[in-house]
Structure 1
Amino acid sequence: MRHKYIQHIAQVALAVALLGGTTSCEDFLNREPMSKLSPETYYTSAAQLEANLNDEYPNILPSYGQWDYGIYGEDNDTDNQTDDYIHDRFTTDQWRVPHTEEDNWKFERIYRTNFFLSQVMPKFGTAMDGSQNTISGTLPDVKHYIGEMYFLRAFEYFKKLQLFGDFPIITEPLVDNAASLVEASKRQPRNEVARFIIEDLERAAEFMKDVDKATTRINRDVALLIKSRVALFEASWLKNFAGTAFVPGGEGWPGAALHSGYAYPEGSIEKEIEFFLKKATEAAKEVGDKYMNRLTQNTGLVPQSATDPVNPILDMYAQEDLSNVPEVLMWRQYARGIETYNINAAACRGNYRIGLTRGLVQNFLMQDGTPVYTHGTYSDGDGYYMGDKEIGNVRMNRDSRLSVFLKEPGQKNILFEVDNNEGTEVFMEEPYPGITNSDSERGYVTGYVVRKGGSFNRKYYANGGGYTAAVVFRATEALLNYMEASYLLNGSLDATAQNYWKALRRRAGMDEDFNKTIALTDMSKEAENDWGAYTAGKLVDKTLYNIRRERRCEFMAEGLRYMDLRRWRAMDQLMENPYHIEGMHLWNTPMEEWYIGENGKSILIGDGSENSNVSSKERSEYLRPFERYAAQPGYEGCTWKMAHYLQPIMVKQLQLTASTPGDVSTSVIYQNPYWPVTADQPAER
């Protein structure tokens, strides 16, 4: 039995060596087996299935472990939030084709999900009623765990779809045969990959329908939510990139040689888009209708004493147990001294020098649903909008999602267990933003800092010792997915979409009349603040834009922004007009007085030299984190290349799958559009 298990490990190793290019066969053979039982005897009870799944959860699903250095990391390096180093993707030549990269084109998790299913499904049988099942345990539990693994495979594949587009579809453990492994490396059209993901999610939902597990586990509602996410992602990608090299059949599509004469399953790209939009609306509506009236309350207030009423929406990101929060479809549990993280400490300081952008802050509407620019200048306002010369002013009379989650100097951060000395990593009171502090843990990069993830209890603030729950999936996304998908499908807002939109604005404490907002929207003004105002370098219509705005504000700092910007094709305009990321209004405002040293002189250095600790007022009155001195990458703004919408495939992978050893031109894998096949080279366009 032990020999058979080691043979299995060797097959994993060869698959990773040929397809992932990161792990050697010897490395795997030298490891202790994960179990001393053979697969034939291990996958025979519901408890064993659950144990295997528990090992995969942290490897595939998002969690705070990925967010320690910035609230919900995927929002970082976008027009929403930033540190003070421009990401390579927003330069013309710093993002280059790798020769080898551990996380590039990696299949380990896919192999593990496939191996599980290959062992379990023959024991369960082909009858969905479970009449052929031989796995011990209650039938609903067995089915649920099978559904969870289908979900995990789908979720892992969705990551690959976002990174690479066209991708191999592999449903079985790869055999120990080089020719078979190379054949399996062939990329399939991206829409076929999306269809495969959706099929897995539909299987997951079907298998999980008979039992309601705790929301710390994947469940049917989560499967439907992610089905709507995937379907909307692919529909909007196909629509926005139609005719280009980024979709099957488009001009210059690199998959044309391998898939000669490719025809969409629905007959045309337009019908294919419709197929995905219908899938998205169908799944999103089932979840949205269930939770629309169960959204977490937002009082619009930030408690400032231990006797103040709790604001439930703040608490949603700062509790240990989210079991009784209906909006949270799934969450991850942490425990003091067992499994912890540092997100609390980050949220109670400067978020590890990651700040919200001026563009995001200005993008939030006023409480009455009107855009900020309808109330005087951004700088001075008109008395209803109070201007931006102090951070406290920008929070006044605004969408409560901004006024609650944007921190203001002088606010109390800790209200409970204030003398608990375990909480060492904390600012008891929010200080003036430490924009001159280069410390990676305590500095403030834009001056605007988000409160999401911070608790008012000091016990959570030991260094690396936070243990409040992590929100993984929220039902609110279903409402937003439906609004966008149905509008793209029908060209108008149906009754369901309108009701969803009103529910979101009602929860935010805003005027529910979104039509008033649409009528007052000036797209040229929105373009100053929001990359999502664009698709393919052109401004979108007002209704679609405001749906995008709603999504941006609702999911501030929750990791969806970069995904959305890519599927919207919202960065073409940067190629001609680089965008300058800005933070708070520093120069010629009372906030300059916050930075007077003990000698009575300003500690701000903005003279354009390499000693500068802030950008100069000659460039902008607003803080520009990439523009302290001329040699700083990003000094001339964020730019873009079309290739950057997808990741390049590493050269080693092309070499490993070449029919002539080392000759990448004979590889069965094609490189992504406009990326070269030579290592350490930037994109061609």
Structure 2
Amino acid sequence: MKRYKFIIILIGFVLALGACDVTDTVPEDAITDLNFWKKTDDLKLYANNFYTTLSSPSQWLDNTSDNCVTNSPDNRLFNNITVPGSGGGWAIGNWSNIRNVNYFLSHYQTVEGDEQEIAHYVGEIRFFRAHEYFNKVKTFGDVPWLDKDLTTTDEELLFNSRDPRKFVIDKVIEDLEFAALNLKLPQDVENGRLHKFAALQLLARVCLYEGTWMKYRNLGGWEAYLEIAATASKQIMDEGNYAIVKGNAPYMFDDYPLFYRQQFIQEDLTSNQECVLPRIYVKDKLMHGLSRQVNETGWGISKDFIESFVCVDGLPIALSPLYQGDDSLQLEMTNRDPRLRNMVDNKNLPYYLDGSRPISYPATTVAVNECPTGYMASKFRDPVPAQNEANQTTYDWYVFRYAEVLLIYAEAKAELGTISQTDLDLSINMLRERLDEPGVFEMGRLSLNPAEDPLALVDGQPRYGYAISPLLYEIRRERRIELAFEGFRWDDICRWNAGVLIENPKTMLGMVVNEDVVERYKNLFGGTDQFEGRSFYEFTDWDGADKKLLKVYANSSRTWDDKLYLNPLPTDQLSLNPNLTQNPGWN
């Protein structure tokens, strides 16, 4: 039974506050600066408004990446973005959250109450400012740092130039370090409310992003950021009492446990040790629609992503004797990392229930408007019928998940060159341990010196556009798989300076289609040829076999342009403020 002590978000209520002229009388039912900034509950009420900016359920989080193939070409990946005349993430409304957090920081000092309680809410607000600015840096690079409540008379600040991203990120780190120092522990706050370890996790995320962004662009000083990332993540590991959870699914097919997927359709995450911070949903009070929507997306998983899953011996498919090939989806999933059959629709993954009996689709649709690649993402699909009514999903959502902490730690240590086998056992191999099926297999663990994957080369060139060690390659693989469809992949591509990943044709292609596959689908779909009218990409694959892969686009080639790492500024803002300059490549 889900506990009902959770945060109710009040949107726009407090943020309508404005500066008041001096007056002798304030109406009793009016909320103004004169009667608001009095008690700690005022601070809490104000901070509540920013919780809507945190991660929330969505089926689109990895759409722009090499993991997914949308049924129409993605504008960014196909370089079809144009410079906007206005808006584009730089409009007045896009800066309102920063204005509002600064308004809080210039007004809270009149509140009377417990100093620790006040400091906690100041920590929340500085967390949200950091979160907002981190997103702006990822989007635009250099941005103006504003730390005061601006008015129309602040012309110098209003028409200032952009501050260097390093300066802004250092300010973000200051905010997060303050938040981590002043936010309470999880057990001392309401469920779903920010706490110390949530701040540390965002700090680790920011520093991993910026440290690798700098390293792979040959910018000096990257080591300091990765040191912070490693230290912050290790503090969570040591002090946070979190764990990788291996829970049993109530609905599954015999011999096909769902240790991984079950974590993402948990009705209540508030007591789940893998959840650092949940977004809480309650039936008939606050619900979402993700369980239904994940199978109505109009996109499919890419062949490239499917091939990234290792076999249960821990070896990549090009090296493992356990790999059975890809002549059918069932063969493709045999002996593979169980996360593959936990997140991709297949006959052993419950799709819905007949009473309490799990039912699956014998074959995934290949309709272009439903699943154009034949690989359907079902990581967030709950088979319980009530969860699949329109906007009636009630399972909680991870805002921060402990698995990310372990992945940050491993990657930061590997990038710094200080990683040990003990570090791997405390991080990557904890994720692998969850996948063990006692009496059947033990998932292969990662060692300091893994074999080099032949598929690290694409057409003879390094997959990432540059060479990395086999260990770092495997850590990146683990991150891609563990965090799939949670909204991390595009950020990873950007920070690694690895846009060339999307040039690989397999990032635009789907399943193998051969005579047996066509006949099987005919038999399952009443004799109708499901592939009639579809196009195929024919080639000789890495294993020497001639294959036809399902095409989604007429042209299965694209060329990366480095300008796409950042968004362009709208032209109206460049005209209004002559001190602003356009991002590289967008002039």
TM-score computed with the length of structure 1 as normaliser: 0.74
2:486 corresponds to: 558
CA shift, 1:551, in A, is 0.6
Q: Residues 91 and 340 of structure 1: is their aligned pair in 2 closer, same or farther, counting only changes over 3 Å? A: same
2:430 corresponds to: 503
Q: Residues 391 and 579 of structure 1: is their aligned pair in 2 closer, same or farther, counting only changes over 3 Å? A: closer
- Does the residue aligned with 2:278 lie in a helix, a strand or coil? strand
Give the AA of the match of 2:548: E
8 A Cα contact 1:233 1:567, kept in partner: yes
Matched, 1:85 2:60: no
2:270 corresponds to: 323
Q: 2:325 aligns with which of 381, 387, 397?
A: 387
8 A Cα contact 1:77 1:87, kept in partner: yes
Of 185-194 and 223-232, deviating more is 185-194
Q: 2:112 aligns with which of 135, 146, 149?
A: 135
CA shift, 1:476, in A, is 1.4
- State the alpha-carbon separation in 2 of the partners of residues 304 and 186 from structure 1: 57
- State the alpha-carbon separation in 2 of the partners of residues 218 and 513 from structure 1: 34
- Does the residue aligned with 2:559 lie in a helix, a strand or coil? coil
2:36 corresponds to: 42
Q: Residues 363 and 598 of structure 1: is their aligned pair in 2 closer, same or farther, counting only changes over 3 Å? A: closer
1:227 corresponds to: 203
Matched, 1:455 2:407: no
- State the alpha-carbon separation in 2 of the partners of residues 411 and 284 from structure 1: 33
Matched, 1:481 2:408: yes
Q: Residues 656 and 320 of structure 1: is their aligned pair in 2 closer, same or farther, counting only changes over 3 Å? A: same
Deviation per residue, 1:84-141 (Å, 9 max, x gap): 112112224x211111125335211111111112111x23xxxxxxxxxx433x5443
CA shift, 1:465, in A, is 1.8
Which 5+ residue runs of structure 2 have no aligned equivalent? 1-14, 22-26, 437-441, 540-546
Q: Residues 407 and 352 of structure 1: is their aligned pair in 2 closer, same or farther, counting only changes over 3 Å? A: same
Give the AA of the match of 2:582: Q
Q: Residues 90 and 368 of structure 1: is their aligned pair in 2 closer, same or farther, counting only changes over 3 Å? A: same
Matched, 1:119 2:100: no
Give the AA of the match of 1:552: R
CA shift, 1:396, in A, is 2.0
1:126 corresponds to: none
- State the alpha-carbon separation in 2 of the partners of residues 579 and 311 from structure 1: 27
8 A Cα contact 1:435 1:447, kept in partner: yes
Deviation per residue, 1:46-87 (Å, 9 max, x gap): 2222222222211x21112xx1xx2xx331121112211121
CA shift, 1:621, in A, is 1.0
2:343 corresponds to: 405
1:295 corresponds to: 244
Give the AA of the match of 1:226: L
- State the alpha-carbon separation in 2 of the partners of residues 112 and 645 from structure 1: 28
Give the AA of the match of 1:648: P
Q: 1:197 aligns with which of 158, 161, 172?
A: 172
Matched, 1:104 2:51: no
Q: Residues 110 and 217 of structure 1: is their aligned pair in 2 closer, same or farther, counting only changes over 3 Å? A: same
1:683 corresponds to: none
8 A Cα contact 1:89 1:640, kept in partner: no
CA shift, 1:212, in A, is 2.8
Q: Which runs of 4+ in 1 moved over 6 A?
A: 307-310
- State the alpha-carbon separation in 2 of the partners of residues 146 and 652 from structure 1: 35
Matched, 1:336 2:307: no
Q: 1:57 aligns with which of 45, 51, 58?
A: 51
Q: 2:450 aligns with which of 514, 519, 526?
A: 519
2:9 corresponds to: none
Give the AA of the match of 2:397: A
- State the alpha-carbon separation in 2 of the partners of residues 598 and 404 from structure 1: 24
CA shift, 1:217, in A, is 1.2
Q: Residues 389 and 601 of structure 1: is their aligned pair in 2 closer, same or farther, counting only changes over 3 Å? A: same
8 A Cα contact 1:417 1:458, kept in partner: no
1:29 corresponds to: none
CA shift, 1:216, in A, is 0.9
Q: 1:213 aligns with which of 181, 189, 211?
A: 189
8 A Cα contact 2:256 2:348, kept in partner: no
CA shift, 1:302, in A, is 8.9
- State the alpha-carbon separation in 2 of the partners of residues 648 and 463 from structure 1: 36
2:7 corresponds to: none
1:675 corresponds to: 586
8 A Cα contact 2:291 2:380, kept in partner: yes
8 A Cα contact 2:19 2:33, kept in partner: no
Matched, 1:434 2:365: yes
CA shift, 1:359, in A, is 1.0
8 A Cα contact 1:367 1:511, kept in partner: yes
8 A Cα contact 1:298 1:508, kept in partner: no
- Does the residue aligned with 2:89 lie in a helix, a strand or coil? coil
CA shift, 1:416, in A, is 7.3
Q: 2:574 aligns with which of 638, 654, 660?
A: 654
- Does the residue aligned with 1:623 lie in a helix, a strand or coil? strand
Matched, 1:74 2:61: yes
The size of the alignment, in residue pairs, is: 552
Q: 2:549 aligns with which of 595, 618, 622?
A: 622
CA shift, 1:6, in A, is 7.6
Alignment of structure 1 residues 172-187 onto 2, 5 Å: 172-177=148-153, 179-183=155-159, 185-187=160-162
8 A Cα contact 1:405 1:450, kept in partner: yes
Deviation per residue, 1:151-199 (Å, 9 max, x gap): 111111110010011111101111222623434x421111111111111
2:297 corresponds to: 352
Give the AA of the match of 1:564: D
- State the alpha-carbon separation in 1 of the partners of residues 505 and 548 from structure 2: 18
Bigger strand share? 2
8 A Cα contact 1:147 1:205, kept in partner: yes
- Does the residue aligned with 2:509 lie in a helix, a strand or coil? coil
CA shift, 1:639, in A, is 2.0
Give the AA of the match of 2:238: D
- Does the residue aligned with 1:82 lie in a helix, a strand or coil? strand
- State the alpha-carbon separation in 2 of the partners of residues 615 and 9 from structure 1: 65
Of 471-480 and 81-90, deviating more is 81-90
- State the alpha-carbon separation in 1 of the partners of residues 481 and 378 from structure 2: 14
Q: Residues 394 and 104 of structure 1: is their aligned pair in 2 closer, same or farther, counting only changes over 3 Å? A: farther
Of all paired residues, the percent bearing the same amino acid is 26
TM-score computed with the length of structure 2 as normaliser: 0.86
- Does the residue aligned with 2:61 lie in a helix, a strand or coil? helix
- State the alpha-carbon separation in 2 of the partners of residues 196 and 402 from structure 1: 40
Give the AA of the match of 1:52: Y
- Does the residue aligned with 2:390 lie in a helix, a strand or coil? coil
1:152 corresponds to: 128
1:682 corresponds to: none
CA shift, 1:588, in A, is 3.6
Which 5+ residue runs of structure 1 have no aligned equivalent? 11-32, 124-133, 243-268, 376-381, 420-426, 606-611, 628-634, 658-666, 677-685
Deviation per residue, 1:461-504 (Å, 9 max, x gap): 11122121111110111111111111222354363344322222
CA RMSD of aligned residues (A): 3.2
8 A Cα contact 2:20 2:32, kept in partner: no
Q: 1:445 aligns with which of 372, 375, 385?
A: 372
